[in-house]
A and B are shown apart, each in its own frame.
Chain A
Amino acid sequence: MEITVRSLWTMIHGMGFGALYLLACSGALVELYRLTFSSAPSESTPGQERFLKVYLITMAVLAWAAVLTGAYVIYPWYRATPPPGTADLSMFPQHLLMSSSTTIGWHSLGMEWKEHVAWFAPISITTVAFVFIRYGRDLINHKQLRATVLGFAVASFLAAGIAGFFGAMIDKSAPVQGGPTIQLSIGAKK
């Protein structure tokens, strides 16, 4: 069982940071919705409040890690220009996608949108985390602020969802691969 360094980084970016962020979003949205629209007034305990703050900070870190690894580690491999005359474009995903009319849309629409829209996720969730940390328990006295924060969390989820969807689809059509190989385990012969 082996994996290339580029594939490993793609996994860390997409499945490690991105997918984990999307999973965390669902939990945060439920809690923020409950906090915003709950019909049963409840004050969270200091422990619950601390947990939500740590949870939101972790989400912000995941979101920033996802966009930064995406832009500065994976994207340069994705957009690398092949030397003139290169016939095998498998190591040049952007050019591989653009070489066929059946796949060009994954780049011209998918990647072109993903590379920008993804950044709205960390910006929005950082705002959400900041408001929760700044206001703490006093947020129960700011209904409008709670509703707005919920809206920003939804926007963050949407941005991450768009980026995640196109990331997964692009990686199916033209995976980022290459680099040194890491041997994970040696299987027994059949």
Chain B
Amino acid sequence: MNTADPVASSKVPALTNGSGAAAILSAGIGSFALAVLAMAADKSAAITSLLVLYKPTGALSGVTTAAILIWLLTWGVLEGRWRRKTVALGRISFVAFALLGLSFLLTFPPIAGLF
């Protein structure tokens, strides 16, 4: 049985997988940060008032702005560290998907309400 990747060419990759891994993991971290910040804002009036960057939108403005900053900052740092490296993409993808899955769950009100 031929187990070779059906799409891959026989060429050696010109780029390492580090850059892709950095983008993937940072997206997972950014999404998770958004979910955690949303929960925190929901539980604490002090955090809510801290996260109101634009009053008509309320704490959502701070939650999303902070999460996007965390995402982009993490992405920049990881890109700088991994760009020329080959990393354990399987493990990184697993962590990224776990964070993304948790983010979906933690933003779901009945689950967020458990904490």
| A50 is an interface residue with CB less than 8 A from chain B | no
Bitwise interface map of A from 32 to 53 toward B, beta carbon under 8 Å scored 1, else 0: 0001111111110000000000
- Measured as residues with beta carbon below 8 angstroms from the partner, the interface class of chain A is 35 or more
Take A71-B57, A143-B5 as given contacts and tell me if A120 and B31 are in contact as well, using a CB distance cutoff of 8 Å: yes
Query: Are A75 and B9 within 8 A (Cβ)?
Result: no
Label chain B's interface by main secondary structure.
helix
> Inside 8 A of B109's CB, which chain A residues have their CB?
108-109, 112-113
Query: Are B57 and A123 within 8 A (Cβ)?
Result: no
Label chain A's interface by main secondary structure.
helix
Closest to A111 in B: B109
| B34 is an interface residue with CB less than 8 A from chain A | yes
| B23 is an interface residue with CB less than 8 A from chain A | yes
Q: Which of A48-93 contact B (CB under 8 A)?
A: 67, 71-72, 75-76, 79-80
A126 to B104, CA, bound (A): 18
> Inside 8 A of B14's CB, which chain A residues have their CB?
138, 141
Give, as a whole number of angstroms, the nearest-CB distance from A169 to chain B.
Answer: 15
Query: Are B9 and A117 within 8 A (Cβ)?
Result: no
Give, as a whole number of angstroms, the nearest-CB distance from B105 to chain A.
Answer: 10
A27 to B68, CA, bound (A): 27
Task: Give A residues with C-beta under 8 Å from B.
Answer: 35-43, 67, 71-72, 75-76, 79-80, 108-109, 112-113, 115-117, 119-120, 123-124, 126-127, 130-131, 134-135, 138, 140-149, 151-152, 155, 158-159
